[in-house]
Amino acid sequence: MENVSIESLIVKLHDVSGVKFGEYKLKSGMLTPIYIDLRVLVSHPALMNQVSSVLYQRVQDEGLQFDTLCGVPYTALPLATIICSTHELPMLIRRKEAKDYGTKRLVEGSFREGDICLIIEDTVTTGSSILETAEVFYKEGLKVTDAVVLMDREQGAVEMLASRGIRLHSIISMFKLLEVLQEAERIDAKTAQRVKKFILDNNTFSHKDDTGNGVPATKKACVEKNVELSYADRAKLPNVHPLASKLLKTMEEKQSNLCLSADVTSSEELLRLADSLGPTVCMLKTHVDILKDYTVDFTQELQALAEKHNFLIFEDRKFADIGNTVKHQYEGGMYQISSWSHIVNAHAVPGPGVVKGLSAVGKPLGRGCLLIAQMSSQGSLATGDYTQAVLAMAEEQSDFVIGFICGSKITKKPEFIHMTPGVQMQAGGDGLGQQYTTPEEVLCNKGSDVIIVGRGILEAPDRLKAAESYRKSGWEAYTKRLGQSGQ
């Protein structure tokens, strides 16, 4: 079967009206400005074969283990049939209702108790169709650990299914689809922005409803709390960036969500801090351009300490230029930041080009980027529409952007990491506009993931004791948050 790019597949789906724009009602009752109708594929066999091919390719890429395969009725049923027929795989069929004659079975096909069934689906919003199919299989003694879907509307299905022990692997995200169609001039910027806003405003995953059924529900204003996934659970999500996964695992293993802001001007002092406080932190933040005695040997020693104490290095460079310029700033010059820093950050003011320039260098090296969505300084302009634009930019380039510098949680997507600066044990401020917030306020009430602490540790008479105090306070606030969500 011919290879097909995701971009060309998206355009072909639009050509056959598999993607429509307007106003439509979903199964959940929600009105949406975009509708994915892949039932039309049955009238386009070549395209249906291509869709089946990319679905199976994802199965292979992920190395998924299963004994049998099932397509969610009805749209995914022919897709699963093609996959199983082409690759000679055993298949099951789930009936939507049992017949009142014959075997009266809801699951057709041969299987044994304990077999693992891989679910294939065409599109997901809440994930309820996959869960309904899985629950039928559970009653038959089957297991379901993974599901592969062509189109994820990015409205809560990943989180909901993860909370039920099912990993969702998607081919096309909603933001990717919008980006491709806009570049192909199939939709204008206004339409793309309207759909993005709808998606961001309508995450469907909520905690248990009033009946205790624990089902997905449409968004309700400040009525229900979202289930909070642990750092360890988030690290296992199928769409999480590998570097974000590594950080989340480190946080869980060290029971630390503390990032030390090592704003010192001496390389020797910074290395002493890294060695003495390294066991207490998950990340060390540097400002390499304020070092008075920088050498290449310094970065090599810092990397060795990061390996020794299991923390990531975050160079707080705040890139804010056009793509070509930041590309050279990142990989070249005196500091060659990309060669030693796991994570960098950037302002979104220059537009998507700043991330694309950094990604061209960092992505092949396995690096990641944080976008500055909010700042802790008084009078910051990084608020409101700007923050929402940052979020949209991150969604579009999530293969390199791993999270945000922010004052509070700005998205419910658990793949993104929120990091908050300006943290001290006592709230307040300094004479230069810096505003401080406590670890509990940041982690428990504002929903951030990592506290960035500088002067609270550096100006303490006993830095190690202060770092351990912040580590303990941060971890207690995080576990309190998990307890409040019912995790």
Catalytic residue set:
318, 321
Strand partners, 283: 259, 312
Read out DSSP for 1-24? -----HHHHHHHHHHTTSEEEEEE
How many angstroms separate the CA atoms of 305 and 123, rounded?
Answer: 45
How many angstroms separate the CA atoms of 478 and 284, rounded?
Answer: 19
DSSP SS3 for 458: helix
DSSP SS3 for 60: helix
How many angstroms separate the CA atoms of 393 and 62, rounded?
Answer: 26
All residues at 6 or more sequence positions from 164 whose CB lies less than 8 Å from its CB, including other chains: 131, 134
10 Å CB burial of residue 69 (0-12, 13-18, 19+) is buried
Count CB neighbours of 377 within 10 A.
15
How many angstroms separate the CA atoms of 135 and 149, rounded?
Answer: 18
187 φ/ψ angles, rounded to the nearest 5 degrees: -135, 160
